[in-house]
Amino acid sequence: DGGNQREFDYFKLTVQWPGTFCRRTRHCCASNACCRGSNAPAEFTIHGLWPDYNDGTWPACCSRSRFNEKEISTLVDALEKYWPSLSCGSSSTCHGGKGSFWAHEWEKHGTCSFPVLRDEYSYFLIALNVYFKYNVTKVLNDAGYLPSNTEKYPLGGIVSAIQNAFHVTPEIACSNGALEEIYLCFYKDFKPRECAVGSILLPDMSLLKGSCPKYVSLPAYVS
Ligand code: 5GP
Ligand code: 5GP
């Protein structure tokens, strides 16, 4: 099934900072990554791999294909570590039901990555590989931007570190002054590219998704 919308133009890998997300979510519960205390991830984890259009819009829910965890059984260990759901509330799926974070991401975004990624297994495998190859956590750590509940870091410095490493400008989203998500864009062959043409380029060169102050925090997880 090739989907019911025109083919996308490029991919956007979205990674999230657990220390920020877990502070604001009201759905933390004992069983999820958010509340695992010292086991909580100290690295950016995957939110999704999103097909986008150059005009700033995106397709969603492109086929009737339902998430089937059996198809990704060999990837589950890696996905639990690098693509955990940080929210305990179940997510809406494209067909009116409720499902896991993985089900939500596959049905909403993954199904739109056809024909580049042809099935659920390819979608999750490629997302993991791209995430490993473009390791934002390592780039920020190497530049001295370490998790902290006291430090604030210049947004321009964070953007520069990523530009120097990958030669493209990331989009960045914040929540309550803390960095929450970083978006990296890719051509269909997974070479890095700039995100949507026409995004507003800020003085510090970042393409802003959500509102970030000039200095942002990278909160360490507190149980
Ligand atoms: P938010 O409003 O939290 O930024 O985004 C809500 C949802 O809209 C996201 O979870 C995602 O599914 C979708 N979304 C937001 N921005 C983008 C984008 O740039 N590209 C795509 N493909 N989806 C997006
Ligand atoms: P998106 O913004 O990708 O369309 O939607 C994200 C959905 O997945 C929301 O319904 C949210 O409650 C759910 N969700 C489950 N786990 C996570 C998580 O770790 N991060 C985010 N951003 N959303 C999550």
CA proximity to 159, closest of 167, 170, 148: 170
Pairing of strands 153-154, 98-99: unpaired
pLDDT at residue number 2:
44
How many angstroms separate the alpha carbon of residue 163 from the centre of ligand 1?
22
Q: What is the pTM of this model?
A: 0.93
Fold of 10-216: Ribonuclease Rh; Chain A (3.90.730)
85 lines ligand 2 (CB under 6 A): yes
164: Cβ contacts below 8 Å, ≥ 6 apart: none
Regions of the chain short of the pLDDT cut 70 = 1-4, 25-40, 197-210, 222-223
105 is catalytic: yes
Helices 120-133, 101-108: crossing angle, 10 deg rounding: 100
58 lines ligand 1 (CB under 6 A): yes
pLDDT tens readout for residues 100-128: 999 999 999 999 999 999 999 999 999 99
pLDDT at residue number 17:
94
Whole-Å CA distances, 91 to 8, 55, 62, 97: 24, 27, 17, 8
95 is catalytic: no
The phi-psi region of residue 198 (left if phi > 0; otherwise alpha if psi is between -120 and 50; otherwise beta) is left
Please report the beta strands in 42-142, taking only residues with DSSP state E, as ranges in sequence order.
Answer: 45-52, 91-92, 98-99
* Catalytic-role residue among 7, 27, 43, 47: 47
How many angstroms separate the alpha carbon of residue 106 from the centre of ligand 2?
12
- Report how far residue 61's alpha carbon sits from residue 109's, in angstroms, rounded to the nearest whole number: 6
How many angstroms separate the alpha carbon of residue 57 from the centre of ligand 1?
9
162: Cβ contacts below 8 Å, ≥ 6 apart: 136, 139, 140, 168, 169, 170, 182, 184
Residue with structure tokens 């509340």? Answer: 35
Angle at CA of residue 36, ends 88 and 121, nearest 5°: 60
Q: Complex ipTM, two decimals?
A: 0.96
7 is catalytic: no
**Greatest distance between any 2 Cα atoms in the chain:** 50
pLDDT at residue number 37:
55
Whole-Å CA distances, 3 to 57, 83, 118, 123, 177: 17, 25, 11, 15, 38
Q: 150-174 b/e with 16+ CB inside 10 Å = b?
A: eeebebebbbbbbeebbebbbbbbb
pLDDT at residue number 61:
96
